Amino acid sequence: MARLTSFVASFVALVAAATSAMATEEASFQKRIVFSPTIVYPTAGTQWKTGQKVNVTWDVSHLPKQLKHAKGTIRLGHIESGNSNEHLANTLADNFLLRTGNVTFTVPKVEQRDDYVVVLFGDSGNHSPKFSIH
């Protein structure tokens, strides 16, 4: 996700620089505030169970003050080895304030895998290490 986001960002910057007609867009691109918080839980050793109440926790120590009221979404995905696609599927939680640093929800009924990740979307996306749901 980080790779995709920066690819899109470079592409937007290139196009904007090449075309003066896109000057307005370039200006709004530069104003965009990027905050990619590190997810501190779940970690690589985590194992969740369907129906269990769990949380996702992220670092808010660098939250820009402009995002004080920004809301986030957390989605469940999985990453197969040798492939960076996150296969995003279920939304686990949304409409929470990014600044709270954690959100609690119930693990949905999903297939058992050991390569799940959670991705936190605010104004950009960051995924956790791979963990298990059994």
Ligand X SMILES: *[C@@H]1O[C@H](CO)[C@@H](O)[C@H](O)[C@H]1NC(C)=O
Q: Name the site residues for ligand X (rule: CB under 6 A).
A: 41, 55, 57, 100-102
At closest approach, how far in Å is the CB of 1 from ligand X?
22
Euclidean distance between CA atoms 68 and 71, whole angstroms: 9
Q: How far is CA 128 from CA 20, 43, 132, 134, in A?
A: 39, 7, 12, 18
Using the minimum distance from each CB to ligand X, give the nearer residue, 16 or 58. 58
- 83 exposure class (CB count in 10 Å sphere: 0-12, 13-18, 19+): exposed
At closest approach, how far in Å is the CB of 77 from ligand X?
20
Using the minimum distance from each CB to ligand X, give the nearer residue, 61 or 81. 61
At closest approach, how far in Å is the CB of 42 from ligand X?
8
At closest approach, how far in Å is the CB of 126 from ligand X?
15
Residue 120 one-letter amino acid = L
Using the minimum distance from each CB to ligand X, give the nearer residue, 35 or 41. 41
- Give residue number: closest CB to ligand X: 101
**Spatial CA neighbour of 77 closest among 52, 53, 42, 37:** 42
Using the minimum distance from each CB to ligand X, give the nearer residue, 101 or 129. 101
Euclidean distance between CA atoms 72 and 98, whole angstroms: 5
At closest approach, how far in Å is the CB of 54 from ligand X?
6
Structure tokens at 117: 């990740």
Using the minimum distance from each CB to ligand X, give the nearer residue, 28 or 61. 61
